[in-house]
Structure 1
Amino acid sequence: MAGTVILTGANGSADSNTQNLRQVIARYPDAKTSIYQVDLANLSAVHEFASKISKAVETGEYPALKSIICCAAYWNLVGDSELTTDGYDKTLQINHIAHVALVLRLIGSFASDGSIVLFSSIAHYRKPNAMTSYLPDIPDDIDQFNHPPASGDKKDRGFQRYANSKLVITTWMYPLNRYLQQNQKFKNITAVAINPGGLGDSRAFTSNTPRSIQLAQKFVLKPFMSIIQYLADPTFRSSAEAAKDVIKLAVDEAYQGEHGYFTLLQKDDSDPITMDESVQQRVWRKSLEWARITKDNTALKNVMK
């Protein structure tokens, strides 16, 4: 049965990745597929896109949304924090804030049994990580995320910003589910945060990344993915393998109604701080503020509590 897929990308049709995507889409002529250019580092563009899709669903151009997969990601391991035009740390805005805006603006366009898939990471855990000597955490003043200190440890601080964004995403998922379940109209819509595993062939390693890590990917991580998976990390795998799991969580009936934190396709425990309801509410309220969500622009009216 043919489906409808709405895809977004930061760059236009001239971008090589978008061209490759169009080539893949061409193999499935029966599917209705649209690609929109949306700059997640610009909240005005995000809200404009959400309004456009909401209108298209309302008029019947698109069916009600079965799922939204929030997989866009950004990091900078070679420079200090970058601020977007909205005044937020670029890593935090692309990885989290923009997705908050999309989810809550589009929630009224969902099918009654829709699903939301957020991308977490093993990096969200507040424990030592080979990529950084700085642990992620959620400070009392969450706005500190948008004013991280400059540092000579570009890689370590850059990965900490990335890990912080994943910690915030995972924490935000819990009150999102709570508010959905409290709303009669949306009680059957659920959200999951997935750790997709270590992706040895990820494009993230090809930009804003130290040369040493790029070389490690080229000569070690990609060529020996299966060996690393077998000997060191059972969650280490290719992006294609991870994508299959993500799609299952998004639209497979076997996973309908699932919610919470997953490692691959297994329900798992996220970092303990994500389970603290007072922290959840601080992250929730600040995320609404960052994403410019109000009672007037989301159908989930109880979000303002």
Structure 2
Amino acid sequence: MPGTIIITGANGSLATPATELLLSKYPDYTLILTARNTDTIRTRNGTRNVSIRELDLSDLSAVHDFATSIASEIQAGTLPPLASIVCNAYYWNLRSAPETTANGFERTFQINHIAHATLVLRLLGQFNRKAGGRIVLFSSDAHWPGKKGLEKLPPAIPDDLRALIAPEQEAKADVIGRGFQRYANSKLAIVMWMYALNRQLESDLALNKITAVAVNPGNLADSRALRVNTPVFLKIMSFLIIRPFLFLLRRFSDPTMRTSAEAAADIVDFATNTTSPGERGYFTHSRKDDSSPDSLDQAKQDALWSKTIEWAGITGENTALEVEHLYVDNSIQN
């Protein structure tokens, strides 16, 4: 049953081919494409059932306002109920010290995790109750210690969760190493939060047909991530090695490496619930996979769940989740 699909970061490398594929293969869906700067979104002009909206994930008040607007339109019947939320937008910075948003949170963690969690929790009640729907979260093999060449400090969710939103400023910090760790931590948090979210959805009779997946789309050779907020050597590698020799790298070095268009095909099938329909969990490409051992720590999953609720400003008044599902007892310091 077609409905509305929201794609954040719709100006990104993967979002453009995903949008084109949705328009050609699944034209009955209504698409809401969001970005901080809507002028950078590329899609066919005049295409019906496509709405381009401004959404700044570094401003949680803007996320709440956007969610309120979408909910009002669905309730008024001017938008179909949600079929999927594709949390595609991302941020990283390998060139400078940690940045803080106006909300007081570290920028990478807010954009990648907190803002998307806010959007999802605010809009759970706008899915089709009979058909359910899909929440597509983006992770990475970066969440698994030792799997990325840029890793100098392994990803880890600290016992004091405040360290995720307010990392220490170190006078002689390794900018690349620390920046990549912040990114990897956000991807680890996304996987852990996905497991906690699915537990809450499954135990909520009104929402248990909504499923969440965290997808590692693979290492994208043509990703804008290799050219934005990155050191010069990575930009050079992108143009001179990674993109020209993708076939060889995929065959002999990293089998997950591929193009954004290839990854987009999988994401579209997740969003339309045609890949692994009704399944939840962690996927690499379109294949169900194991996430890292650290990500399976349920006590930390529950701690992160509860703290995310607080950071996101979610209450019983602004989400469809039953109140008893919002707060989970845990013993982790937060």
TM-score clears 0.5: yes
Corresponding residue to 1:184 among 181, 205, 214? 205
**3-state secondary structure, aligned to 1:255:** coil
Confirm or deny: 8 A CA contact 2:134 2:210 kept in the other structure: yes
Q: CA deviation at 1:214?
A: 0.4
Q: Is 2:136 aligned against 1:117?
A: yes
Percent identity over the alignment is 45
- Give the AA of the match of 2:283: F
Runs of 4+ in 1 over 2 A off after TM superposition: 126-129, 149-152, 252-255
- Give the AA of the match of 1:304: L
1:303 aligned residue: 325
2:330 aligned residue: none
Question: Deviation digits for residues 10-65 of structure 1, max 9, x if unmatched?
Answer: 1132xxx32xx1xx333x83x40011111100000000000000000000110000
Normalised to the residue count of structure 1, the TM-score between the two structures is 0.94
Q: CA deviation at 1:147?
A: 2.1
Q: CA deviation at 1:254?
A: 4.3
- Give the AA of the match of 1:142: L
Confirm or deny: 8 A CA contact 1:74 1:95 kept in the other structure: yes
1:198 aligned residue: 219
CA–CA distance in structure 2, aligned partners of residues 172 and 252 of structure 1: 20
Normalised to the residue count of structure 2, the TM-score between the two structures is 0.86
**3-state secondary structure, aligned to 2:128:** strand
Alignment of 1:194-233 (within 5 A): 194-233=215-254
**3-state secondary structure, aligned to 1:290:** helix
Q: Is 2:71 aligned against 1:6?
A: no
Gaps of 5+ in 2: 1-26, 328-334
**3-state secondary structure, aligned to 2:28:** coil
Question: Structure 1 residues 245 and 172 mapped into 2: Cα distance closer, same or farther (>3 Å)?
Answer: same
2:98 aligned residue: 81
Question: Structure 1 residues 76 and 107 mapped into 2: Cα distance closer, same or farther (>3 Å)?
Answer: same
1:52 aligned residue: 69
Higher helix share: 1
CA–CA distance in structure 1, aligned partners of residues 187 and 147 of structure 2: 15
Gaps of 5+ in 1: none
Corresponding residue to 1:242 among 263, 274, 277? 263
